[in-house]
């Protein structure tokens, strides 16, 4: 009987963890997740703050795949809306498929910011939402350069803290320089 109860508890914990990891439920919860495994249904069920971070990471990842080195907040919002619409009709499909099917690779941005020109001072001066967007975007981008579709939340937080500390002392340096000098 104790073995059955232990198995049920283990299954409940495993089910809970499987539902929390894709949603990056809290900042305190360290998660590593292969972005390719996230379904549209899971994406649509994410809380707004988690969805925002996930979308920024995916935008960075997809930007590398599309040979784009710019950050465009308006284009990002339009792409998120497009992916969400596609995902509503395809909840069991992967978000990756939604990106490929709903976003035009040839889309031309209206307002661009080449991330290679973002200085540490600029980044530190962004509001919390824009700073978080750029953080997750850059993480996605650099993961794609390494052919990785794995978001390691703990590593991202550690690297973000190290980059922020570097940037506070080197405000005229570019953000990519800070990442190359401090991220692991």
Please check whether residue 97 lies inside any domain of the structure.
Answer: no
Name the one residue in this structure whose structure tokens are 């953080």. Answer: 135
104 located within any domain = no
pTM: 0.73
Domain that holds residue 162: 24-38+47-71+112-182
Cα–Cα distance measured from residue 138 to residue 146, given in angstroms and rounded to the nearest whole number: 12
9 in a domain, yes or no? no
Inside any domain, residue 176: yes
Task: Confirm whether 80 is domain-assigned.
Answer: no
Burial class, 51, CB count within 10 angstroms (exposed 0-12 / middle 13-18 / buried 19+) = middle
Comparing 4-13, 98-107, 113-122, 167-176, which segment has the lowest mean pLDDT? 4-13
Tell whether 82 is covered by a domain.
no
CA-nearest of 153, 148, 174 to 163 is 174
Residue 6 included in any domain: no
The Cα–Cα gap between 8 and 13 comes to 9
Residue 118 lies in a domain: yes
The answer to whether the CB of 132 falls within 8 A of the CB of 54 is no
Per-residue pLDDT tens over the stretch 25-70? 443 334 777 888 889 999 999 998 888 888 888 888 888 887 878 7
Look at the chain and report how many structural domains it folds into.
Answer: 1
């Amino acid at each position: 009987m104790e073995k059955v109860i232990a198995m049920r508890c283990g299954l409940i914990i495993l089910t809970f963890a499987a539902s929390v990891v894709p949603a990056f439920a809290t900042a305190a919860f360290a998660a590593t997740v292969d972005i390719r495994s996230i379904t549209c249904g899971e994406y649509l069920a994410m809380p707004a703050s988690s969805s925002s971070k996930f979308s920024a990471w995916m935008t960075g990842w997809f930007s590398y795949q599309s040979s784009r080195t710019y950050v465009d907040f308006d284009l990002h919002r339009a792409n998120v809306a497009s992916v969400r619409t596609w995902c509503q009709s395809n909840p069991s499909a992967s978000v990756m498929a939604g990106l490929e099917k709903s976003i035009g690779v040839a889309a031309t941005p209206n307002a661009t910011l080449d991330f290679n020109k973002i200085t540490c001072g600029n980044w530190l001066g962004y509001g919390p939402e824009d700073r978080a967007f750029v953080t997750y975007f850059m993480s996605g981008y650099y993961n794609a350069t390494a052919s990785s579709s794995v978001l390691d939340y703990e590593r991202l937080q550690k690297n973000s803290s190290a980059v922020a500390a570097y940037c506070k002392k080197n405000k005229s340096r570019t953000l990519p320089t800070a990442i190359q000098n401090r991220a692991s």
